């Protein structure tokens, strides 16, 4: 029996993924600052706590084989909160992983770690999954920081690390930009299974999107770890394109990070 720790299990992705990650030979250990009330006692355990509480993180990590780290702030926030929850919190997770001999950590990074890359700069080919950091705000910066933290824990402690630069992982695309950036729930589960597989040993940084017809972010790095997406956001095109034209003259579509590049917190830094 293997044990997979899922941090942030009470959130949008955690809730979507719990039924999809269930396996007869796997226990899901759920961890979140928020309560989870519908635990399936045959296949799940719950530890409540904050990633900023190192004792709670150590309790959550003790005895697991791998970690899927989703927990933290999932959008722009104050510098102090971002540093504490996303950066210090992720360091606590890696630190506990090293201390408890956990060999695989899959990290929910974000397209916002590289949000200022543009469609034009991709130059007609797909933007690589491991393109260099260009965060579009404090949140995106924290994701670039934890990607680098993963590199440190890989090089120093030999932990296998996969950074997932997730586009839009929801039941359906949240907006027209999602026609390129969406990752369906089933594909999200496929990407996580690939990230836990032997093919993903080492250190990897990959996009987290479906096989979208309008995507311009490369599938090569995901394919290298065995990720084979099957869904396409095109099924939602009529709904979204009734109100928006699909043109890369639109800054929301031109930049990886879309509207986050104009977020007020980011503007304050300039
Ligand atoms: N959903 C997406 O499209 C998307 C895109 C890019 C990146 N991501 C990343 O994936 C992860 C999951 O995203 P989501 O959509 O489920 O976000 P979410 O906000 O719905 O869930 C985040 C979860 O983390 C928990 N959390 C917050 N602070 C915590 C703390 N101090 N200690 C423990 N748990 C804490 C929250 O209670 C929540 O349940 C996040 O790290 C997010 O940045 C998601």
The catalytic residues are 139
Structural domains of the chain sorted by starting position, each given as residue range(s) with its CATH number in brackets: 2-269 (3.40.50.720)
Atom of ligand 1 nearest to the CA of 89: 31
Tokens (6 digits) for 66: 């791998």
Question: pLDDT digits over 205-229, tens only?
Answer: 999 999 999 999 999 999 999 999 9
Is the confidence at residue 268, as pLDDT, over 80?
A: no
Contacts of 215 (CB under 8 A, 6+ apart): 126, 180, 181, 209
Residue-averaged pLDDT of the chain: 96
> Closest residue (by CA) to atom 39 of ligand 1?
11
Instruction: Supply the pLDDT for residue 270.
Output: 40
Mean pLDDT, rounded, for 177-190: 98
Looking at 60-69, 133-142, 145-154, 256-265, which range is the least confident one?
256-265
SS3 state at 103: coil
pLDDT tens by residue, 134-156:
999 999 999 999 999 999 999 99
Using a 6 Å CB cutoff, which residues line ligand 1? 8, 10-14, 32-34, 50-52, 70-72, 74, 85, 89, 108, 110, 166, 168-170
Where does the pLDDT of residue 61 fall: very low under 50, low under 70, confident under 90, or very high at 90 and above?
Answer: very high
> What confidence tier does 266 reach under pLDDT thresholds 50, 70, 90?
low
Judge whether residue 72 has pLDDT over 90: yes
Q: In the chain, pLDDT over 90 holds for what percent of residues? A: 95
């Amino acid at each position: 029996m293997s044990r997979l720790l899922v941090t942030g299990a009470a959130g949008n992705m955690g809730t979507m993924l719990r039924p999809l990650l269930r396996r007869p030979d796997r226990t899901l250990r759920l961890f979140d600052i928020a309560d989870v009330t519908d635990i399936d006692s045959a296949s799940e355990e719950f530890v409540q706590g904050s990633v900023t509480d190192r004792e709670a993180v150590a309790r959550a990590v003790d005895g697991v084989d791998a970690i899927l780290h989703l927990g933290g702030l999932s959008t722009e926030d104050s510098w102090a909160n971002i540093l504490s929850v996303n950066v210090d919190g992720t360091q606590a997770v890696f630190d506990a992983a090293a201390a408890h001999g956990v060999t695989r950590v899959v990290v929910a990074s974000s397209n916002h770690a590289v949000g200022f890359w543009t469609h034009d700069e991709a130059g007609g080919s797909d933007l690589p999954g491991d393109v260099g950091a260009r965060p579009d705000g404090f949140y995106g910066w924290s994701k670039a920081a934890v990607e680098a933290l993963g590199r440190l824990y890989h090089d120093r402690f030999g932990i296998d690390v996969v950074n997932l630069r997730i586009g839009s992982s929801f039941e359906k695309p949240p907006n027209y930009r999602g026609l390129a950036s969406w990752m369906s729930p089933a594909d999200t589960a496929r990407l996580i299974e690939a990230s836990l597989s032997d093919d993903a040993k080492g250190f990897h940084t990959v996009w987290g999107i479906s096989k979208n017809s309008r995507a311009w972010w490369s599938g090569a790095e995901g394919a290298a770890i065995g990720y084979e997406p099957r869904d396409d956001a095109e099924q939602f095109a009529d709904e979204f394109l009734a109100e928006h034209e699909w043109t890369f003259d639109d800054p929301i579509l031109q930049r990886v990070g879309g509207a986050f590049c104009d977020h007020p917190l980011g503007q304050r830094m300039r």
